[in-house]
Amino acid sequence: MIFKIAGLGIVTVFTALIVRGERPDVAVAIGIAGGLAVILCVAEYFTDVARLLAELAERTGVSGDLVLYMLKIVGAGYVVEFACDTAEDAKMTSLANKISIAGKILIFCLTIPVIAELIEVIASLAEYGG
């Protein structure tokens, strides 16, 4: 799989470099398409990891919602990073910065249920121990 990803990346870079001199806009589109293709190559691994985490949560009694929030947080981080990099590749630094700020706010909001669950666990441990 790693050779497929590396090969796809190299072909994308060379294609974009060849096209960039004549059509910079098309070169950016090639870069975005290549990036999406690379991400789609590893998407199946993400679903396997999500399934494993769900099974682990079920066996340990951890809330499935908590695992779902954690996956959303990680996924949001990757999506925002990809969007920021894409905007920077297109020479839109200001847009990349705004995407980054919005992503950080979203990730913060997604962590609130996780923090609330953690506080509940700590409170229940304090009641049990006290």
Q: What is the pLDDT of residues 72-121, one digit of tens each?
A: 899 899 999 999 998 998 889 999 999 999 999 999 999 998 898 888 87
pTM: 0.73
User: Would you say 110 and 76 are in contact if contact means Cβ atoms under 8 Å apart?
Assistant: yes
- Count Cβ atoms within 10 A of the Cβ of residue 19 and give its class: 0-12 exposed, 13-18 middle, 19 or more buried: middle
- Count Cβ atoms within 10 A of the Cβ of residue 99 and give its class: 0-12 exposed, 13-18 middle, 19 or more buried: buried
Q: What is the pLDDT of residues 12-53, one digit of tens each?
A: 999 999 999 999 889 989 998 998 899 888 888 888 888 888
- Tell me, rounded to whole angstroms, the distance of Cα 92 from its chain centroid: 20
